[in-house]
Amino acid sequence: MVSYSTGVNRARRLRGAEQFLDRWCGGRGPAVFEVVPRAEAVHVVHAAEQADASAPGAGNSCDTRNDILARDLTDKKFKDGSKCVIDAGTLADPYTGGKIHFERGRKTSSAVQIDHIVALSNAWQTGAQKLPQARREALANDPLNLVSADGPANMGKGDKDASAWLPANKKFQCAYVARQVAVKKAYGLWVTSEEGDAMRKVLNGCPGEALPGEGAKGVALR
């Protein structure tokens, strides 16, 4: 582990997500949001860490995917006879800034995918491997860490952190990074030095960006 400090004398008061990142990465708070060299973040993925699309979400009988679709889509249409399964809807995609007309189907459902804002592989590398199984499952299905997104954009992101990938939609970058910070805070995960630099660079441009909480509505709110 290495300590991390920007060495920057800030004249203004930090707020929200940037304040939290500065506190934990600047060495002024408890070491629960540590920064490690990327070389120490070993890439390990376990099948058990993959999101369970069939897991109940939001404390109801619906699966996680449909809960997140119901949260993020507008003009929603449910499958006949179902209060859970989304058949169609419109997504204002946060990653590209475009609109996607979603239709459930073998060849069409992948147009809208459910992304882990902090990728599960990244989470595993940065502390989730130390969490109890139940806590890892909670992370994989936590609405705080889930967003409906453009399929190709999500595939392009893969398991990259903020130093290697940010949404093409620059209007969403602050909210995206703030959501990552919130997730890492909630689950006691750390960041690499490169990731911390990238997060800070984004948040420097939006010092008032709020740190979303578990009860936050929507994505990381556009």
pLDDT above 50 for 210:
yes
**139 lies in some domain:** yes
Reported pTM: 0.77
Instruction: Kindly give the pairing relationship between strand 35-36 and strand 191-192.
Output: parallel
Q: What range defines the domain where residue 97 resides?
A: 45-189
Residues 70 and 91: beta-carbon distance below 8 Å: no
**155 lies in some domain:** yes
**Cα-to-chain-centroid distance, residue 217:** 14
**32 lies in some domain:** no
**123 lies in some domain:** yes
**135 lies in some domain:** yes
Point out which residues pair with 116 in neighbouring strands. 146
pLDDT above 50 for 114:
yes
pLDDT in the model for residue 207: 85
How many domains are there within the chain?
1
pLDDT in the model for residue 219: 41
**91 lies in some domain:** yes
**162 lies in some domain:** yes
Q: Which amino acid is at 15?
A: R
Helix (H, G, I), strand (E, B) or coil at 177: helix
| DSSP 8-state secondary structure symbol assigned to residue 112 | E
Structure confidence by residue, pLDDT tens digits, 44-75? 333 333 444 545 555 568 999 999 999 999 99
